[in-house]
Amino acid sequence: GAFTVRPALPSNFRKYYERGDFPIALEHDTKGNKIAWKVEIEKLDYHHYLPLFFDGLSETDHPYEFFAREGCHNLLEHGGPKILPVIPQLIIPLKTALDTRNVKVICTVLKVIQHLILSGDLIGEALVPYYRAILPILNLFLTHRLN
C-alpha cells in the first residue's frame, strides 16, 4: 500500500563512512553521544559534505543514522552563508529519505528541513521550486492516522 515502508538502498553516506572519508568520530559524553569533528566545521567543503550527510538521513542502522542526523544539524548550525548555494544538491537526498515512507525517517527529515530553513536567510524561498519533489510524500502522511 501507500504507507508500506520501502527498504532504503545503502546510501553513499554509508559507503563514505565505512571507508573513513568523514572527519568524524563518536564522542561519549555525560549527556549522551555526540560527534567529535577532527577538523573545524567551518572549514569543510559544504558542496561535498552537506549532500552526503543529507543522503544518510534515509539510514536506520546505528551508527549511520546517528552520524547522519547529528552531522546535518552540526553542519547547519555552523554553515551560515555556505548553505544556500548547496540547496539544489540537497533535494534528491531529501526525497530519497522521504520515499522510504518510514515514519521515524520522515520525522528526522522534517526536523532537518526545519533546521535547514532556520539556518540562513532566503533558504525557505530557495526551497519553493522543489516543493513538487518534497510535498507529495508529506501529503500522504498528512491524513494518515495510526488510531
- Judged against a pLDDT cut of 80, whether residue 130 lies above it is answered with yes
Report pLDDT digits (tens) over 22-61: 999 999 888 889 999 999 999 999 999 999 999 999 999 9
pLDDT score for 95: 96
pLDDT score for 142: 83
- Judged against a pLDDT cut of 70, whether residue 146 lies above it is answered with no
In the chain, pLDDT over 90 holds for what percent of residues?
80
Average pLDDT on 14-26 reads 95
| CB-based contact 76:116 (threshold 8 Å) | yes
pLDDT score for 5: 87
Amino acid (one-letter) located at 52: L
pTM of structure: 0.93
pLDDT score for 7: 85
pLDDT score for 30: 86
